[in-house]
Structure 1
Amino acid sequence: MNWIFETVFTFLQTDLTLSTGLAIIGLTVLIRLLLLPISFPAIVQGIKQRQQLNKFKPQIDKLKQQYQSDPSLLSQKLMQFYKDNSITFVNKTNLMNMLGQGITGFGMFQFLNSTNLIGKFAWISDIAKSDVLLSVAVALLTGLSMYLMPSAAESVNYLMLIVVSGVCLVSLLNFSSVIGLYWGTSTLVSTIQSFTANLIHSRKILSHG
């Protein structure tokens, strides 16, 4: 897969005369656009799933209270309840989305990490080194993206967001800004997709209300 990324990256940098930083951003956006046919439907399904869970929340809470002393039985009751009401957490669309993003994400990380990319970008004097401001910005954006994820809306809490953002920050401080630019661009695209899907869903609810 490296040769595909390298070919497109070279085209962006040589033929379109983009800087190294812009070429990384451009390549990342192209990849996410190619994944859009599977990633956006997965987000939409997550929103619908959240809507289903909200609808059945009283029944689910009642089961949790009724069988709180027996976690094993509670798990069985919840699984049966989800099955009876056609609530699915894993489906073909979600699996394809996770697989697609996992493969391309790992491939991009390997490509960027194994390629000696240097240059300036915005305030970053050398993208071959880590940048504190970029790392902080991407860490905050990662937390925001996680908060907007429809599948995580019911279970996410501020402590979890802080922990995830903190792990992200520490990780990026140990990688070059090349990885930070990729991570930040990919996360920004995910955030925009989630925001757009939530906005469309909210408007549909208002129009039917």
Structure 2
Amino acid sequence: MGRISGSPTVQTLALMLVVSLLYWSAQAVFAVFPLVNPAAVFALGPTFTATPWTLVTSVYAHADPYHLLGNAVTLLFVGLLLERSTTNTRFHLFVLVTGILAGLAQVFGGSLLGQSGFVLGTSGAIFALIGYVVTANPVSEVAFSRLRLTRGVQFLIFAVLAVAVTVLTGAPGVALVAHFAGLLLGLVAGRLHVLEPSTPRGERSSAERSRI
């Protein structure tokens, strides 16, 4: 039981559930007493400077149970895979920071695609976790080492890949810009191994065998 509760993936799922329940409860109250729109309190929008806490709440709140369930299932698979090679603190910071950055990208870039200026959900951070797994695994490490591509070329490849995945997974109402930004952040972060606990360079080769 202690091992399960100590999992950063399980902890993130719990945060998603609690914050989403608060959001849905606020929606129910608003339906009866239309005073303050819950979206303004939980969702990240263009006026986030007036409600800075939405940078955090928007990462964990979800529009409805189906939205939460879809993200929870994906997080469960990728999170449990990735958490073995990092620390709880690094995992939570990665989810929060990439979630915020993906949300901001959606707020400011979504209008170009005719999407809403408000965003809710953990999908941006989840796409970042997926991107991290793609580029931080030993197979990718060997491939990039042999190709010897410059950082600029690697970034271009990641951007093209992020666009392709975003288009293929796109659907009405989906935060496409957040997904693109999250995946791109994860791909870059994976190449930099930002989730790895500090390891002396001389020990990295042996650590590669057990990573992800």
Please report the TM-score for the alignment, with normalisation by the length of structure 2. 0.30
**Structure with the larger helix share:** 1
Structure with higher Rg: it is 1
